[in-house]
Amino acid sequence: MGLDITVLGLDWAELERTPAAERLAVLYEADCPDDDTDGPAGPRTGWVIPASPEVPWSGRYEFRGTLGSYKPHFWAANGWDTVRGFADPALREALDGFLGGLIWWGDDDEDGETAAGVFPSDPEPWRPSLQLLVPPPAVTALAAHWNRAAPLLTGLREAYDAHASRPGGWIADFEEFAALLGQWADLVDGAARRGWGLLALHV
C-alpha cells in the first residue's frame, strides 16, 4: 500500500466556525462521504462540489489517471527537482512558488504541515498530520505563481524529456508532467475563485 491523496477545498470561515472537536469528523466526511458513489460513466474527475451533502461548504478534487495515489505527485515533484536547474529563471521562480506550496519539498526537509491551527483545542500531543494546508491568501498567491509559469511551461519540454523523463513510470515525460500540473492549476484556480483554502489529510 502506498500513500494516497485527496485534496479538499474549504470555506475557511466555516471551518473556523466549526467547533474544534468536530472538525476531524467533518473533514473525514468531506474526504470520503458515506453516500459517495461513482456515476454511470465511472469515477468523477475534477471538482466535486459539494464534497458531501453534509459539508456543503466544501469541494473535493479528483485527479485524472492517478487512482488516488500520491505517487504521480511525488514523481512530478522529483522531476521538477531534477530539471529546475535547466529552466528559464522566470519559470523556475514561478514554478518553485507554485509547486513549493503544493507537492515540491524544495530545501525544506520537514514532513507535512502542522495541524495545530486546524485542531487547536486537542489536549493530546497527537494530531492528524496533513499533506497539505493552504489558507485562502496562500491559495491566491499560488494562483499568481501559476499565471506567471503557465505561458513559459512549454519551454521546459526539451530539458524535461532529456533529463527527467522516466518511460514507463508514473510521470513518464514532459506531457504527463504538464498534464498533472494543469490539474493542480485547475484545483488552485477553482479554490481561489471561491475564496477557499486547501487541505489534505494523511489517511
How do residues 140-154 score in pLDDT, each as one tens digit? 999 999 999 999 999
Instruction: Express as a percent the part of the chain with pLDDT over 90.
Output: 73
Q: Is residue 93 part of a domain?
A: yes
Write out the H or E segment, with its range, that includes residue 56.
none
Q: Is residue 1 part of a domain?
A: no
pLDDT at 116: 59
Average pLDDT over residues 187-202: 95
How do residues 16-64 score in pLDDT, each as one tens digit? 999 988 999 999 999 998 765 555 555 688 999 999 999 999 999 999 9
> Does residue 70 register a pLDDT over 90?
yes
The number of folded domains in the chain is 1
How do residues 75-133 score in pLDDT, each as one tens digit? 999 999 999 999 999 999 999 999 998 999 876 545 445 565 777 665 665 566 788 99
Contacts 24+ apart (CB under 8 A), 146-149: 146/94, 146/98, 146/184, 146/185, 146/188, 146/189, 148/90, 148/93, 148/94, 149/91, 149/94, 149/95, 149/98
Domain that holds residue 50: 7-201
Q: Is residue 24 part of a domain?
A: yes
> Does residue 199 register a pLDDT over 60?
yes
Residue 130 CA to chain centroid, in angstroms? 11
Q: Is residue 2 part of a domain?
A: no
How far apart (Å, rounded) are the C-alpha atoms in residues 188 and 160?
Answer: 23
* Torsion region of 97: left, alpha or beta (phi above 0 gives left; psi -120 to 50 gives alpha): alpha
Q: Is residue 123 part of a domain?
A: yes
Torsion angles phi and psi, residue 95, rounded to 5: -75, -30
Considering only residues 120 and 136, tell me which one the structure prediction assigns the higher pLDDT: 136
Considering only residues 177 and 111, tell me which one the structure prediction assigns the higher pLDDT: 177
